[in-house]
Chain A
Amino acid sequence: MILDYIPIILVLIVAAIFGFAVVFSSEIFGPSRPNKVKTMSYESGKDPVGTTHERISVKYYLVAMLFIIFDIEVIYVYPWAVEFKNLFSTYGIFAFLPMLFFLVVLELGFLYILMKGGLKWD
């Protein structure tokens, strides 16, 4: 039974070798001519300002949580939408109603946050 797992172990070993090889070969073979701009930490092309340990408002945590609602929504709706034509021809209206129910429940959660003042930022 353990022998069945040998291909997986082989893949893991090859992946590890490949990863190390790519990282270290550029280190070994690439030319190294550092200047000030090159060693600067990367911040989307702008000059970095201040340290990385900034204090961030706790409200962003709420944004992150709200993002999950829509993230999950997309994860479930996208494959359903792609397959909808096939589903509709087999199941008829029952291909549509469960997703409608799911969306109503999900959006109700969002509406709850909205109405309870979850997005009032002051």
Chain B
Amino acid sequence: MPSTINEYFQLMPFLIIGIGIILSVVIEISSKSSKEILPWFSIILFFATALYSITNISEHAVLFGGMVEVGGKPAIFNFIFNLGAMLVVMSSIGYLKKYGTYFGEYYILIQSSVLGMMVMAGSKDILMIFLGLELMSICFYVLAGINRNKLGANEAAMKYFLLGSFTTGFIVYGIALIYGTTGTTSIQNLIDNFGEYSSNIIFVTGLILFLIGFSFKIAAVPFHMWVPDVYQGSATTVTGLMSTTGKTAAFSVLIIMLTSIFTLNSANIFKPYFSAIAVLSMFFGSIVAISQNNLKRMLAYSSISHAGYMAVGLAAANSYSISGIIFYLAAYAFMNIGAFSVISIIEGENDSRTDINVYAGLNSKNPVLAAFMALFMFALAGIPPMAGFFGKYYVFVGAIESNLTWLAILGVISSMISVYFYLRVIVFMYFKDAEENFEIEVAPYSLSSVVISGVLVLMFGLFPDMLLRLITAVVSL
């Protein structure tokens, strides 16, 4: 089948990032001051792609003989990936000097991982999913250990790499079984003939192996063991990227693969599986986070519990809950990146100052940072009018719609528990006196990253239907 030039033009978001990566490598090898140029170049690239994606949502098309999908859901996901990566790059500029890892490859790796996520979200073929997943994961393994002189970063990279490649084995074996029973890797074919295939035990085994692999990537209990150590050990900005855009990419694949379940009216055979991991993740994350004193580790457990809330939407599997998940992912991305940006500003040299008692009396030292941190903590706890509330609300409404009221009730109980450790940070910032004195150097780019995240979180919270209308228009495509 000849690929027309028109198809290449429709592939624009991929081309912008792809050619951007090539140009970045050229800049890196030809210029001495690449580490000053590349962050700005990446910011422009990510912003251009995000803008292109959000303005071309209606241009839905399946290209290259049913391999790649552009417009529609992938466009929304591309918007989240690129805007998230842009904010991470902005907060990295000041942070990396402090972290002792100041070189250009960091930005190239972030661009490559975003390209991988975009391939995952836009794939219409299981092999494309695998390609995108590997591109994203391998960049993340390297980014986690970007500073090889730090013990924690090495541990994080090694753990992530070993467990990540083990899970990749699950995914490949799942793909092999799916291909073995259906004779094709096309997702459209799976969706069309799902009812026929789902009576085949080998096909269902393959799909379950595939789901287990992606449960690892979204950090759901019982596949969460890597999360706390990796999130704590990696550079703070990298953690911000992994925990938000990486999770979004994994959820985008789950949503693509399981479209068959919510488009057809067949019974959701994975309802017990997703209900189980949802309940376990919500409660495990919320309860264990209470006893964490390290803020990065606390946010890692909070990330596990957020994966649980989103999995409630997958268990419900109707169009409400799916648009709820996508909204939740967008909201979670910006509030978490904002929180990690604040942590990266406060953090000192040698991984110091990530504990919660450092935040005591932050309000008197830097009221702006304290106010934004409070905003992100309220948003993560799910208190209206922040974006986090509406994310949870839409997902739980979807659950009630599918007669999963018990799951919604458990979700609400779990978010009540989680309020304790989010508000604990606010109590430290506003109601306690500073224990140690240190200078907070606020780089202007990092602060603008915090401000943009804060504005987005407030905007999605105050006018949720702005984003939700875009999502509901494309969710059934």
Binding site for B on A (CB under 8 A): 90-91, 94, 104-105, 108-109, 111-112, 115-116
Contacts of A91 in B (CB 8 A): 2
Q: Please give the distance in Å from A76's CB to the nearest CB on chain B.
A: 15
Our pick among A94, A104, A105, A116 for the contact of B2 (Cβ within 8 Å) is: A94
Contacts of B29 in A (CB 8 A): 111-112, 115-116
Is the pair A90, B2 in contact by a Cβ cutoff of 8 Å?
A: yes
Our pick among B2, B3, B5, B22 for the contact of A108 (Cβ within 8 Å) is: B22
Contacts of A90 in B (CB 8 A): 2
Flag whether B28 is at the interface (Cβ < 8 A). Answer: yes
Is the pair B3, A94 in contact by a Cβ cutoff of 8 Å?
A: yes
Q: Please give the distance in Å from A86's CB to the nearest CB on chain B.
A: 13
Contacts of A111 in B (CB 8 A): 29
| Chain B, residue nearest A91 (CB) | B2
B 384-400 to A, binary, CB cutoff 8 A, 1 in contact else 0:
00000000000000000
CA distance A108 to B26 in the complex (A): 8
User: 18 A-B residue contacts at CB 8 Å?
Assistant: A90-B2, A91-B2, A94-B2, A94-B3, A94-B5, A104-B22, A105-B22, A108-B22, A108-B25, A108-B26, A109-B25, A111-B29, A112-B25, A112-B28, A112-B29, A115-B29, A115-B30, A116-B29
Query: Number of A-B pairs whose CB atoms are under 8 Å?
Result: 18
CA distance A116 to B26 in the complex (A): 12
Contacts of B22 in A (CB 8 A): 104-105, 108
| Chain B, residue nearest A108 (CB) | B25
CA distance A112 to B29 in the complex (A): 6
Scoring B3, B5, B25, B28 by chain A CB atoms within 10 A of each residue's CB, the highest score goes to B25
Cβ-closest 9 pairs across A and B: A115-B29, A112-B29, A91-B2, A108-B25, A112-B25, A108-B22, A111-B29, A94-B3, A105-B22
CA distance A116 to B31 in the complex (A): 11
Binding site for A on B (CB under 8 A): 2-3, 5, 22, 25-26, 28-30
Contacts of A115 in B (CB 8 A): 29-30
Contacts of B3 in A (CB 8 A): 94
Contacts of A109 in B (CB 8 A): 25
Q: Please give the distance in Å from B18's CB to the nearest CB on chain A.
A: 9
Q: Please give the distance in Å from A94's CB to the nearest CB on chain B.
A: 6
Task: Name 4 extra pairs, CB < 8 A, besides A115-B30, A116-B29.
Answer: A108-B25, A112-B25, A112-B28, A115-B29
Contacts of A94 in B (CB 8 A): 2-3, 5
Contacts of B2 in A (CB 8 A): 90-91, 94
| Chain A, residue nearest B5 (CB) | A94
CA distance A104 to B25 in the complex (A): 12
Q: Please give the distance in Å from B142's CB to the nearest CB on chain A.
A: 14
Q: Please give the distance in Å from A57's CB to the nearest CB on chain B.
A: 21
CA distance A109 to B108 in the complex (A): 13
CA distance A115 to B29 in the complex (A): 6
Q: Please give the distance in Å from A21's CB to the nearest CB on chain B.
A: 34
Contacts of A105 in B (CB 8 A): 22
Contacts of B5 in A (CB 8 A): 94
| Chain A, residue nearest B18 (CB) | A105
Contacts of A112 in B (CB 8 A): 25, 28-29
| Chain A, residue nearest B4 (CB) | A94
CA distance A110 to B21 in the complex (A): 15
| Chain A, residue nearest B108 (CB) | A112
Q: Please give the distance in Å from B475's CB to the nearest CB on chain A.
A: 34
CA distance A100 to B25 in the complex (A): 18
Q: Please give the distance in Å from A104's CB to the nearest CB on chain B.
A: 7
CA distance A105 to B23 in the complex (A): 10
| Chain B, residue nearest A93 (CB) | B5
CA distance A41 to B322 in the complex (A): 67
Q: Please give the distance in Å from B109's CB to the nearest CB on chain A.
A: 13
CA distance A81 to B81 in the complex (A): 38
Q: Please give the distance in Å from B255's CB to the nearest CB on chain A.
A: 30
Q: Please give the distance in Å from B24's CB to the nearest CB on chain A.
A: 10
CA distance A111 to B30 in the complex (A): 10
CA distance A105 to B25 in the complex (A): 10
Contacts of B30 in A (CB 8 A): 115
CA distance A104 to B22 in the complex (A): 9
Q: Please give the distance in Å from A80's CB to the nearest CB on chain B.
A: 15
Scoring B3, B5, B22, B29 by chain A CB atoms within 10 A of each residue's CB, the highest score goes to B29
Contacts of A116 in B (CB 8 A): 29
CA distance A89 to B26 in the complex (A): 34
Q: Please give the distance in Å from B372's CB to the nearest CB on chain A.
A: 39
| Chain B, residue nearest A95 (CB) | B2
| Chain A, residue nearest B3 (CB) | A94
Scoring A94, A104, A109 by chain B CB atoms within 10 A of each residue's CB, the highest score goes to A94
CA distance A64 to B63 in the complex (A): 37
Q: Please give the distance in Å from B7's CB to the nearest CB on chain A.
A: 10
CA distance A90 to B1 in the complex (A): 10
CA distance A48 to B25 in the complex (A): 46
CA distance A104 to B18 in the complex (A): 13
CA distance A87 to B397 in the complex (A): 54
Q: Please give the distance in Å from A100's CB to the nearest CB on chain B.
A: 13
CA distance A115 to B26 in the complex (A): 10
Q: Please give the distance in Å from B61's CB to the nearest CB on chain A.
A: 19
